[in-house]
């Protein structure tokens, strides 16, 4: 079984919705790192000219490679990433190896067989 790591950088107010939507599409778990900072092309400024940093979360999802695209698209739709600038981004990277997930492989095998 091959895996990919989906990384989603989101506004903190929509993290739970994104995680729930990803699980509905086959993600078997997630890790959320809170209090991340970031900005897009242009930094947001307050009326005093100071930087306005919004609360961000980093969502990590280790998913079976065949489920990756659908989960990414679901995250983008749920978070309205393409509709509202600054809401977040998501991307995936290849995972060469993983340990500690043997208890999830049986469940993932069933999900992937249904999808294929």
Reported as a single tens digit per residue, the pLDDT across 53-106 is 677 899 999 999 989 999 999 999 999 999 987 789 999 999 998 888 777 776
Instruction: Quote the pLDDT of residue 53.
Output: 61
**Domain ranges, ordered by start, for the chain:** 3-115
Query: Token match 């999900």: residue?
Result: 111
What is the average pLDDT value for the chain, to the nearest integer? 84
Instruction: Quote the pLDDT of residue 112.
Output: 65
Reported as a single tens digit per residue, the pLDDT across 23-61 is 999 898 899 999 887 666 666 555 565 555 677 899 999
The residue among 5 and 115 whose pLDDT is bigger is 5
Class of CATH domain 3-115: alpha beta
Give DSSP secondary structure letters for 56-97. Answer: EEEEEEEEEGGGHHHHHHHHHHHHTTTTSTTSEEEEEEEES-
Work out whether strand 88-95 and strand 56-64 pair parallel, antiparallel, or are unpaired.
Answer: unpaired
- Pick from 115, 22, 17, 15: nearest CA to 63: 22
Distance (Å, rounded) from C-alpha 37 to C-alpha 43?
12
Instruction: Quote the pLDDT of residue 39.
Output: 66
Instruction: Quote the pLDDT of residue 102.
Output: 77
């Amino acid at each position: 079984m091959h895996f990919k790591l989906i990384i989603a950088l989101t506004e903190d107010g929509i993290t739970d919705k994104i995680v729930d939507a990803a699980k509905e599409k086959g993600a078997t778990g997630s890790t959320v790192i809170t209090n991340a900072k970031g900005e897009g092309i242009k930094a947001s400024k307050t009326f005093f000219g100071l930087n306005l940093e919004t609360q961000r979360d980093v969502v990590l999802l280790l998913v079976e490679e065949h489920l990756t695209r659908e989960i990414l698209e679901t995250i983008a739709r749920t978070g309205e990433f393409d509709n509202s600038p600054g809401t977040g981004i998501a991307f995936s990277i290849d995972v060469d190896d993983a340990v500690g997930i043997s208890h999830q492989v049986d469940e993932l095998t069933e999900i992937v067989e249904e999808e294929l």
